Structure formats: C-alpha cells, structure tokens
Structure 1
C-alpha cells in the first residue's frame, strides 16, 4: 500500500520522517519529491475563466456615481445642461477611480500576487504494509500534512 501526502517544507516534515523510521518504515520505502511552485507574478487583469477576487473598477464605479451627481447638479447652470455634464462627470470619475486602483495595486502594494493560504512544497510517498497504513496516516496528520491519500 502507498500513502501519499503533501507538506510545506518545514521541520514538521523532518519530524514525520524521523518518526516513520522509528516505527519501522525503512528509509528505502520513503520517497520525498520537492515541488517547483509558481514563481511568475500573478496577472493583474482577470480572464473569462479565472478571477483572483481583486477588482479594478470598484473605486471607479463609486467615483463615477459621485462625479455624475455633482456634475449634473452644476450642469443646470452651465451651457450644455445637466445630462451632458452628468455623463462627462461619470466618465471622469470612472477614469480617476480606475487610475487610483491601478496605482494602488501596482505601486503602493508592490506585492507578489501569490496564491493565498498554504502551498504544498513536498510530496511524500510512503510504501508500507496494509496493517501499518493507518499508523502512517496518523503520523503524517500529526505532523501537519496538508493532504493525505492511501492507494492499494
């Protein structure tokens, strides 16, 4: 039987390996594979099939509404009237809002847009007898495995 698990590369992985060896699992039956995690920067603009939850137009929509109301109110006294000035105000507010949000995301945060949460860094494969599979699984969970699966 094989027991697969994923771990972050930490001291808990080393402790799990040491405990497995103490419990009678031979070192030749334990196989650890380090993973190459995503190193390129996440995209700022979303696609149709993937969204990271960050919106560039949220501030733009709010400012478009505010600028449209203010410009339409002032437009009653101007030559083009409230409708044109309301539309001009909405366009200016939207552009200003998107520019602010883009500036915040690209310049101020300067963060690598990485995946949130824990990332698997090592896959651990343990080959053992079926009677020891439950013991191996418990040891892996006790040492903070991210995920564990058994295969006969």
Structure 2
C-alpha cells in the first residue's frame, strides 16, 4: 500500500505551520525553519509547502474575508484547526488554480478528519463548497453540469 503523497504531506506540514502561527504569533521564518526540521519533512513536496505556508500566512485577513460569510459565527470562534484548514484551503482555491477545486476540498476534509474535532470535516466541507462556488464559479458550474449529464 502506498504511503501519503508528497503533496498531501506538504499540506499537512503547511497546516502545522499555519496552526503554530495562529497560536504562537512567531515569525514566518521561525515557523518555516521549525516545520522544515520536523521528522518526515524530507518526504514532503518542499516547494508546495513553502508556497502554501507563505501564501496563506501573508494573506490571512483577505482569506478570512473570503470564508467568513459562510461560517455562521465569527472567525475568532473557530477552533484553531478549523481556522487553519479553512485558511489553507481558501488560499489553495484562490492561488493554485492548477489544482481542481474538488481536490482542494477533499484535501481540506482529510486534514480536518486527521487533526480536527469529531464533525469538523463536515463543517469544513460545507464552508469550502460555498467558497469554491464563489472563487471558482465556472469550474464548479462545469462540474455540476457534467455530474447531471448535461
């Protein structure tokens, strides 16, 4: 059985860095160095990790503004893991258009299942479906049409 892909690992390490930034307020450089030295990092896609971590942490406010209308509470009321997953996935939807939106959502769900609370993945799924429809309307509409056989 194959182990996790290098891209999945990169997302996991990026999530750890984002989570650490939300809780510690440490500098991006310090967090990036710490995560890169973590066991198993050598099996991750280092370039993707860097792009995800820096892109997310350098744009936190704008990313939160994208998903905030869909969470039904304030951003401050989110658990740090939910907030980190939503930040990461929103960044990936917005800036990594080469990755299909369904892949971004599925990866976010897997991260929420692995690191979040019991039903956190359902919450993440619901929010990210709405964010995807907002940020990638043509891609979402095409997928819906395809799904319905039209």
TM range (shorter): under 0.3
Q: Which has the higher contact order (CA 8 A, sep 6+)?
A: 1
The structure with the larger Rg is 1
**TM-score between the two structures when normalised by the length of structure 2:** 0.23
